[in-house]
Amino acid sequence: MLICCGNSKTFTEQDNQAYKNLKDLVNSKMFAIDSHTARPMATNALMQLGNTNILGPGNTAASINLIGNSNSLKVKGDTISAFLPYYGEQNFGGGTYGGNHLGIEFNDVPENYQVTFDDQKQRAEIKFRIDDEHRNGEQYNVYITLFKNYNSLISVQSSNRTSIEYSGSVKQIKEDKEAQ
């Protein structure tokens, strides 16, 4: 006979309200994520680069502070845009490149956009596929986890580059009245 002990957590009313607010935010499709830390896949080449201290004080090949660096991922209705700095290796090919566009950049309606709410862990999970805006032939699988405390985790898997994760925070975007 197999007996399983569940780890069912009891949530407070404050937890439940925070989770409801997160669900409302995700369902509004009007939010932005600012990342504070990049965590590239730690390959040998990146580890060697990290050992040169070129990444700056306090940074390692596995964790790079992004505070003060421009970055964002925005969901506005059906369109998702992102500008995320990239640290890692290109696997192969990669198509054509547009000038200064070395980061992860997209601004389009994604394919296979899916939202799942995990009520047991009180978090939202979003996944989609989208093409890079400037790098022909590069496509990303993006996985976003949003927590009830408004922390975020973005995982990006590229068709041409090693994977990278970003941790940060999410906030609501107010609609621009002039755009209407």
Q: How far apart are CA 150 and CA 128, in angstroms?
A: 20
pLDDT of the residue at 121:
96
More confident residue, 47 or 25: 25
Question: 75 is written with which tokens?
Answer: 């969901």
User: Which of 94, 103, 105, 98 lies closest to 66 in space, CA to CA?
Assistant: 103
User: Which of 134, 138, 136, 118 lies closest to 126 in space, CA to CA?
Assistant: 118
Beta carbons of 33 and 170 less than 8 angstroms apart = yes
Q: How far apart are CA 120 and CA 123, in angstroms?
A: 8
Q: How far apart are CA 158 and CA 91, in angstroms?
A: 9
pLDDT of the residue at 179:
46
In degrees and rounded to multiples of 5, residue 125 shows phi and psi of -125, 130
What's the mean per-residue pLDDT of the chain?
Answer: 86
More confident residue, 128 or 51: 128
Is residue 82 very low, low, confident or very high in pLDDT (cuts 50, 70, 90)? very high
Kindly state the average pLDDT of the residues 64-78. 92
Q: Which DSSP state fits 71?
A: -
Is residue 80 very low, low, confident or very high in pLDDT (cuts 50, 70, 90)? very high
Angle at 121 between CA 115 and CA 126, to 5 degrees: 20
In degrees and rounded to multiples of 5, residue 28 shows phi and psi of -70, -25
Amino acid sitting at position 125: E
Domains of the chain listed by start with CATH number: 14-173 (2.40.128.410)
Beta carbons of 92 and 160 less than 8 angstroms apart = yes
pLDDT of the residue at 73:
97
